[in-house]
Structure 1
Amino acid sequence: MTNWHPEIPDGQGPLYIRLADRIGEDIATGALAAGAKLPPQRDLAYDLGVTVGTIGRAYAVIRQRGLVSGEVGRGTFVLGSAPEPTLEEDTKPDLDRPPHAPAGSASRATSWLQGAMAAPRDTAFAGTRISVPSPEAIRFDSTSAPEIGQAEAICNLTAEITREAAYEIASYTRTVPDSWRQAGRIWLSRAGWEPSEGSIVPTTGAQAAIMAIIAATTAPGDQVAFEDLTYSSIARGAALSGRRPIQVARDDEGPLPDDLARVCAQKHPKLMFLMPSMHNPTVRIMSARRRQEIADVARQHNLWIIEDEVYGSLRETDVLPIAALAPERTFHVGSLSKSVTAGVRGGWVSSPLSHAQRVYTAHKMLTGGISFLLSELSARLVLSGAAEDFRKKILAEIAARHTLVQAHLGKYEMESAPDAPFLWLKLPEPWLSGTFKAAAASENVLIDDEDEFKAGRSGKVYHRVRIGITNPRSREETAKGLQVLQDLLEDNCVCYDSFE
């Protein structure tokens, strides 16, 4: 424990931001050395005369800036950048030492477990500079559709659109052609269910669609329910817009109906976000019975539901969507990003008829409106059959990469499936989620730790990481990255005694 005690600088802006800036300055000047443990939040709050929430937000900011690493049960530790090697160190290489690890470390895992390296993050802020991963990094931290030859079809369709719709491309999009809604009905249909006429709202991808739904159904201060393990970017986006995320306990299928009923009775959320067909990050599917139970609870408590089926388009199932069970309160969301192409930003919402116009208006106000070129391209990809052809090819590519996963990581416990573009890997002792992510990053392999999937503060520790396998450019690059992760996992036995 360090004797460090900050003084919060005077000035404009929120107190927690000024505190985060001061902590960053102290790390930069060496007042807080690499490996130093920050005071517990409650203790520092008492010393500074502020709320625990202020300290928690400040710690969250510096963690997002890549300056510290937090592990439940251990505390928050300062992460250091690598020192410049001396000539003596440079001429006496430590063959067991990873790039940037301190000289003389017992093993790679030892130095990372001591917080010697921070993982780069796409949106991590250090002062006014945005940290960008190396172009050579192997990106297992994304699950966009793999490149399987989409460019030629996109080029041909785009050429058609530019020839046929020069005026529409030059202007703002003020109307929604029937073909866009027809494409949405086709793409969102599943298990014998088809969205109703008039329910389809074209959107700029799924994330924009979901934020529009939140804006259309809730007001600042309202509570939005999330599973305690979920795609947390939606929870963060809800919080950023002034809504209050709350958590519902889950099991392997999804949210527990009894706990959802309890949360609804006690906290009265207006909306819940779900991923029933392929949960991110666990890969699991929600049974027909559980979907009906969730729909019943939602109807009893007048709860809106967002059914995120972005990954669901990759999974063949005969289980009806929740939108078929409770169409009057369910927003069914889908896009092309995982199963066709992410760069086109094509998405649709099947909305309850009472709210279709509200979602359209909210989406326009939040995004500035949809692009005619991209929306028309998305519709033509679906209506021409090209989207379905790409989906089948992408499923085949995912299955091939899943075989690589089994070859490199098959002996470790994981949640995975041949149709899933990611896996949920259980880490062996002594690895922790954050330190394994940092270790992989120092080897130029980017993955997501478990904190990326927590809807809020939680005492649950999974000791897992999510590894996306579709973003690398090729199977060869995928195998290369998996080999790095395999080597790290097998290195844990070397470091355990020295760490203790």
Structure 2
Amino acid sequence: MRLTSPWTPRLAAEGRPSERLVAAIAEDIADGALTRGDRLPPHRELAYRLGIGLGTVTKAYALLERRGLVQSVRGRGMFVAGLAPRPDGVIDLSVNMPPQMLDDRLLAATLAGLARRLDAGTFAGFIPPAGRPDHRALAASWLAGQRLEVSPDTVLLCNGAQHALSVALATACPPGGLLLTEAATFPGALMLARASGHRLIGVDLDREGLRPDALEAALASPAVAGAAPVLYVTPTLNNPTAATMGARRREDIVRLCRRHDVTIIEDDVYSLFAAPDLPPLAALAPERTLYVSGLSKSVSPGLRVGMLAVPPPFLERALSRLQASCTMASTLSSAIMAEWLGDGTAHSVAASIRLDTERRHALLQSLLPIDQPDSGTRGFHVWLPMPTDAAERLVSSAAAQGVILMPPRLPLVDPSSPEGGVRLSLGSPPLDKLKLALSALAGLVHPGGERRQGDRPAY
């Protein structure tokens, strides 16, 4: 006799029917509503109960099985495999990683499939420095889904988005050159800039990101006179503040860069969270914008494939910098990218990351309500603004309770700045651990009671 499924069938809110079914099941596995060994409803029964086609159920189950979340047992049905358990210990909110949506079985199946198709001779050979043409075409198609239409010939594959950023900086800003960026920005970019001897100018930002008036003042300052400035900026989900520029703000920034002949390096690694109608700066100013993206934030950190879209006038220089830094893109990572972009796995995982991130924000607001930027764009990091000294005390107290946070001076262009904050990275821990961490932080940030709207953190 077959086991009855404990799952109450449902569809998630957005997407095609198969995507909605995949998202609903993946969400309930992540929440613990479905656990290892639970049986899923038979194909025909599920199609009938949800009013969808039998082929839709078959496609959804196949996607879930490729991701390693479910497994088919011959003659018995489809069962939940679940996500691999994570070790206990400290709760790390310092590293900005997406929620884990991949499973060991998916990775094993992908590598086994590649082993049958990738022979030793091919693996031992060189590929073009920027990647194989078919892989670059797949990457360009992925970028088109992230709101940027570019020719595959202008897309360079790199070994992660950090590598793509280093190539972009080496291409646009020579050693000792002038780099403008948000006053609080991605620590990896600051490390690259300082290692290359760039002169750094931090530009003030607000709840919508980089301020046009502050950028204009910086460009008119004596420090910029006679220089060929480069602007490094993250318009969507600034790291660390999570600010996102609206369309008007993006147009204003582009207008200023054109007027002052500023080259732009746009970091768009959080593009999967952006509204579909919100254009990247590279779409507004394609002639001067080097566009950095990748798959580590939208699929998995272990998939070290970065994408750098380069305007044609910069292409030869960028290829030279790319080849000097790594010879060629990783054959294995590129092959995994091609597999997952081609069979829909990457899109399915990205959709699950978005849904899981919404759950994490709901948990955050229930335990540690904070004011967030007005854009409505939510990724897997948030910002608690406060004086920098108070931020350091909070980080130290949180560590004493087993919660690890990013050092607060790390993302500041001027580490001596008295105003800063603390970034909370929500994506890495499982939900039960995240709940413990947020509860502990709530007791530190708002001791003795609930926060009222407009209050600043008490710490």
TM-score, normalised on structure 2? 0.72
Note if contact 2:206-2:243 (Cα within 8 Å) is conserved in structure 1.
no
Residue 467, structure 1, aligned to residue 420, structure 2: no
Instruction: Tell me how far apart the structure 1 counterparts of residues 197 and 147 of structure 2 sit (CA, whole Å).
Output: 38
Give the structure 1 partner of residue 405 of structure 2: 447
Query: Is residue 244–residue 373 contact of structure 2 (8 Å, CA) maintained in 1?
Result: no
Unpaired runs of 5+ residues, structure 1, are: 1-133, 494-500
In 2: Cα distance, 1:486 partner to 1:431 partner: 18
Moved more, 401-410 or 192-201: 192-201
Contact in 2 for aligned 1:430/1:492 (Cα 8 Å): no
**Could you tell me how far 1:430 is from its partner in structure 2?**
12
Using a 3 Å threshold, how does the CA distance of structure 1 residues 309 and 150 change in structure 2: closer, same or farther? Answer: farther
Alignment match of 2:205 (pick from 250, 266, 280):
250
Give distance in 2, aligned partners of 1:248 and 1:426: 17
- Cα pair distance change 1:457/1:476, threshold 3 Å: closer
Within 5 Å, give how 1:131-280 maps onto structure 2.
136-166=89-119, 167-174=121-128, 176-190=131-145, 193-265=148-220, 266=222, 267=224, 268-280=227-239
Instruction: State which of 285, 288, 299 in structure 2 corresponds to 1:340.
Output: 299
- Map residues 56-75 of structure 1 onto 2, 5 A cutoff: none
| Unpaired stretches in structure 2, ≥5 consecutive residues | 1-86, 450-459
- Aligned to 1:485, which of 417, 441, 453? 441
Q: 1:330 to 1:251 in 2, by over 3 A?
A: same
Q: 1: distance between equivalents of 2:349 and 2:234?
A: 23
Q: 1:51-130 maps to which residues of 2 (within 5 A)?
A: none
**Would the aligned equivalents of 2:182 and 2:210 in 1 still touch at CA under 8 Å?**
yes
DSSP 3-state at the match of 2:440: helix
Q: Counterpart of 2:334?
A: 375
- The amino acid of 1:402's aligned partner reads H
Q: Which secondary structure state, in structure 1, belongs to the residue aligned with residue 153 of structure 2?
A: coil
* Distance of 1:406 and 1:358 partners within structure 2: 47
Answer yes or no: is 1:433 the counterpart of 2:391.
yes
- Cα distance in 2 for partners of 1:459, 1:492 equals 29
* Superposition deviation, residue 491 in structure 1: 4.1
- Kindly state the Cα deviation for residue 380 of structure 1 after the two structures are TM-superposed: 2.1
Task: Give the whole-Å Cα distance in 2 for the aligned partners of 1:249 and 1:269.
Answer: 20
Cα distance, 1:251 vs structure 2: 2.5
Two-structure CA RMSD over aligned residues (Å): 2.6
CA distance in 1, matches of 2:207, 2:445: 25
Structure 1 residues 430, 338: CA separation in 2 closer, same or farther (over 3 Å shift)?
closer
8 A Cα contact 2:230 2:265, kept in partner: yes
Instruction: Tell whether the 8 Å contact from 2:388 to 2:408 is kept in structure 1 after alignment.
Output: no
> Which residue matches 2:3?
none
Matched residue type, 1:439: S
The separation in 2 between residues aligned to 1:192 and 1:148, in whole angstroms, is: 23
Deviation at 1:231, TM superposition (A): 1.3
**Residue 398 of structure 1, CA deviation:** 1.0
Match of 2:56 in 1: none
What is the rounded CA distance, in whole Å, between the counterparts of 1:367 and 1:487 in structure 2?
47
- When residues 150 and 202 of structure 1 are mapped into structure 2, their CA distance, relative to the original with a 3 A threshold, is farther
Of 208-217 and 444-453, deviating more is: 444-453
Task: Provide Cα deviations, 1:385-434, integer angstroms capped at 9, x if missing partner.
Answer: 11110011111111112121122112x4455967310111246x998100
Q: Return the alpha-carbon distance in structure 2 between the equivalents of residues 353 and 151 of structure 1.
A: 40
Alpha-carbon distance in structure 2 between the residues aligned to 1:262 and 1:415: 24
- Aligned-pair identity in percent equals 27
Report deviation, 1:490.
Answer: 4.4
Does structure 2 retain, via aligned residues, the 8 Å contact 1:153–1:386?
no
Q: Take 1:205 and 1:476, find their aligned partners in 2: how far apart are those partners? A: 30
Greater shift after overlay, 357-366 or 289-298? 357-366
Partners of 2:389 and 2:179 in 1: CA distance: 33
Q: Please state how far the C-alpha of 1:334 moved relative to its aligned partner.
A: 1.0
For the residue of structure 2 that corresponds to 1:189, the secondary structure is: helix
- Kept in 2: contact 1:225–1:269 (CA 8 A): no
What CA distance in whole angstroms lies between the structure 2 residues aligned with 1:336 and 1:419?
18
Equivalent in the alignment of 2:52? none
Cα distance in 2 for residues equivalent to 1:184 and 1:191:
11
**Letter of the aligned partner of 2:332 in structure 1?**
L
**Cα shift at 1:350:** 1.1
Task: Report the TM-score, using the length of structure 1 for normalisation.
Answer: 0.66
Q: Deviations over 1:53-86 (max 9, x none)?
A: xxxxxxxxxxxxxxxxxxxxxxxxxxxxxxxxxx
Partner Cα separation in structure 2 for residue 156 and residue 359 of structure 1: 35
CA contact (8 A) 1:203 1:347 kept: yes
Q: Using the TM superposition, give the Cα deviation of residue 338 of structure 1 relative to its aligned residue in structure 2, in angstroms.
A: 1.3
Deviations 1:37-68 (A, max 9, x none): xxxxxxxxxxxxxxxxxxxxxxxxxxxxxxxx
Query: Could you say which residue in structure 1 is the equivalent of 2:275?
Result: 316
2:247 maps to 1:288: yes
Offset from partner CA, 1:339-371 (integer Å, 9 cap, x none): 210111122111111223322331332245321
* TM-aligned CA deviation for residue 489 of structure 1: 2.9
Aligned residues: 357
The partner residue of 2:261 within 292, 299, 302 is 302
Q: Partners in 2 of 1:329 and 1:311 — Cα distance?
A: 21
Quick one: which amino acid aligns to residue 171 of structure 1?
Answer: G
Q: Contact 1:314–1:339 at 8 Å: present in 2 too?
A: no
2:91 partner letter: I
Contact 2:91-2:404 at 8 Å conserved across structures? yes
How far apart, in 1, do the equivalents of 2:272 and 2:418 lie?
Answer: 30
